[in-house]
Amino acid sequence: MLVLLLLFIAGLSAGFVDAVAGGGGLITVPALLWAGLPVQWALGTNKMQSSCGTALAVSRYAKAGLVAWKEVRLAVLFTFVASILGAVAVGSMSKEVLKMTVPWLMLAVAVYSLLSPKMGDEQRAARLSAVAFAVLGGTVLGFYDGFFGPGTGSFWTISLIALRGLELTRATAFTKVVNLASNLGSLLVFWHAGTVDIHYGLVMIAGQLIGARLGAGMVLKHGAVFVRRVFLAVVFAITAKLLWNQWMG
């Protein structure tokens, strides 16, 4: 019962963070590993529970009119397919290069965000067309999320602000939709492989749904300033964790 309670709390916390800025896996994957699941099972179960929380966040953003479905649907398609390919490739490719480079990419995201205090405050001119962005972003970040994953939401948000000119709350809403696509694509692979713990997943889903509702509500209420603060905190936390893992071997 103690394990289930802690997994519920982990799901709730992650659902809140994910709905605002992404990065909930920093909480849930270690929690599932602590509960005794092997790595592949922890990753598969994490995709199951995070998909539900992300779906609720998407629903709230959509009802608030923050999701431009005509623009996001092509990105969803490419992200979904690429995430399946990424998850399939996990067993046959080395992650060592990603483990070494991603922390520094995340650090670059954090520094860029800190040096751009007006980042995402308002809509700006797009530097890349919606179709080109959907194909490029969906393929690269979808595959990355299925294959490795840490920081995917942050990469999406920064890309949307820098290349599509979206303001921060709309970029967050877009990010949640494509994150849901890559979560579901990866989940199909893990489910087919039989590496999903349904019981632990259901307990965490209960927490995820509450946390996601609270997190999305905070975004809608407080807007870009709140998102920016949580976003920076999550980016630095992911960067610190990845660098720590790298240095500690």
The larger pLDDT score, comparing residue 17 to residue 72, is at: 72
pTM confidence score: 0.83
Residue 190 tokens read as: 């893990």
Q: What is the mean pLDDT of the chain?
A: 85
Give the separation between CA 31 and CA 190, rounded to whole angstroms: 18
Looking at residue 107, what is its pLDDT?
Answer: 77
CB 177 within 8 A of CB 68: no
Looking at residue 78, what is its pLDDT?
Answer: 97
Burial of 223 (0-12, 13-18, 19+ CB in 10 A): middle
Looking at residue 236, what is its pLDDT?
Answer: 81
Looking at residue 182, what is its pLDDT?
Answer: 95
Q: Is the dihedral of CA 22, 27, 32, 36 positive or negative?
A: positive
pLDDT of 121 higher than 70: no
CB 87 within 8 A of CB 185: yes
Task: Say which amino acid occupies 40.
Answer: Q
List pLDDT tens digits, range 64-83: 999 999 989 999 999 999 99
